[in-house]
Amino acid sequence: ITSLDLYEQKLLKLANHARALGISIIETRAADARIFQPEQQPGFILLDAPCSGSGVLGRRGELRWKLNGDKLRELTILQRELLDHAATMLRPEGIMVYATCSVEPEENALQMKSFLERHPEFEIDTDCSGLPERFRKEAEINGSLLTLPGDLPGFDGGFCQRFRKKPE
C-alpha cells in the first residue's frame, strides 16, 4: 500500500496509527498526487479527496468560518485534478473509490457526474460485498454510492463512490 499526501505530518500520523495496529505494509510518500507516477499501475486507488469538511461540522465547527464560495470552487478544481490523474494511473479493470467528508453536492454527486462524462473508460461498480454489513444495505440500494448521514445514527456526513476502469 502506498499512501500519498503533500504533508509529512499527516503521513507520520498515519504511520504511527498503522504501527500501533501492527500494520507494516504501508509505504508513505510526501508527494503531489496530481503528478505522482507509480512504478507500476495500481489495481486499486482510494482517493480520499481534500474537501470542505462540511460533513464533520458537528466536530469541527471552525470549518464553517473557512468555507465560502471561492474555497469550494478551489476544492472542486483540486478534486477534479486528482480524479483525472488517478484515472490515468489505474490499470484497466482496476477499482477506484472516491471519498470525502463533505455533504456538498459540488464535491460529491456533481463531481462524480462530471468525472464520468470526462472519463467514459470508467463505470460505476456496484459490488458492495467488501463493505461492513451496517453500510452495505444503503450502498446496494444506491449502486455503491454511500452518503452519510443516511439512516445510520452516530456517523458524520460523508460520501463515497466506487468505480471500475473498463478493460482496454
Show which residues are catalytic: 101
Distance from the Cα of residue 109 to its chain's centroid: 13
Amino acid identity, position 20: A
Q: Computed over its alpha carbons, how large is the radius of gyration of the chain?
A: 16
The helix (H) or strand (E) run that includes residue 118 is: helix 109-118
**Residues 156 and 55 sit within 8 Å (Cβ to Cβ):** yes
* Spatial distance between the Cα atoms of 44 and 89, rounded to a whole number of angstroms: 10
* DSSP E strands, the chain: 2-5, 27-30, 44-48, 95-100, 122-124, 146-148, 158-165
> Cell digits for 6?
503533500
